[in-house]
Amino acid sequence: MGFIKEFKEFAIKGNVIDLAVGVIIGGAFGKIVSSFVEDVITPLLLNPAMKAAGADNIKELAWNGVTYGNFLSAVINFFCIALVLFMMIKGINRISKKEEAAPAGPTDDQKLLTEIRDLLKSNRNV
């Protein structure tokens, strides 16, 4: 019974659940980006280049008998995902980052102590 209890405690921890949710969302996001590349970017931007290369589909692109269309699609997917993640993290950092204010002026206690110090110095010099 100890093994089952330990596994239950492990599986219910927040980190494991957060990781599972992240993996599921990441998989769905990957499909969205793949669809974006294949259905939007490829037809709009890459079709002229593919027609010049003699291919109707990105998966048909080949050079010296080596088909590299799938690889090119994966590279484009990677850069799209990296760009979106960079922008998301940059936005999150901007939101969560507290403004670095100029050093605050002295507190009332510090002002009072400074005045006392100055008075003591002036009394020594008299």
- DSSP secondary structure string, 40-99? IIIIIIIHHHHHHHT-SSGGG-EETTEE-HHHHHHHHHHHHHHHHHHHHHHHHHHHHSPP
Distance between CA atoms of residues 37 and 79, nearest Å: 10
Domain ranges of the chain: 2-100
Which residues are CB-contacts of 75 (< 8 A; sequence separation ≥ 6)?
Answer: none
User: Would you write out the chain's pLDDT as a tens digit for each of its 126 residues?
Assistant: 688 888 878 777 767 778 888 889 888 888 888 888 778 877 777 777 777 767 777 777 777 877 777 788 788 878 888 888 888 888 878 887 765 555 678 888 888 999 999 989 888 765
The hierarchical CATH code for the domain 2-100 is: 1.10.1200.120
Q: Are 59 and 48 in contact (CB under 8 A)?
A: no
What is the model's pTM? 0.50
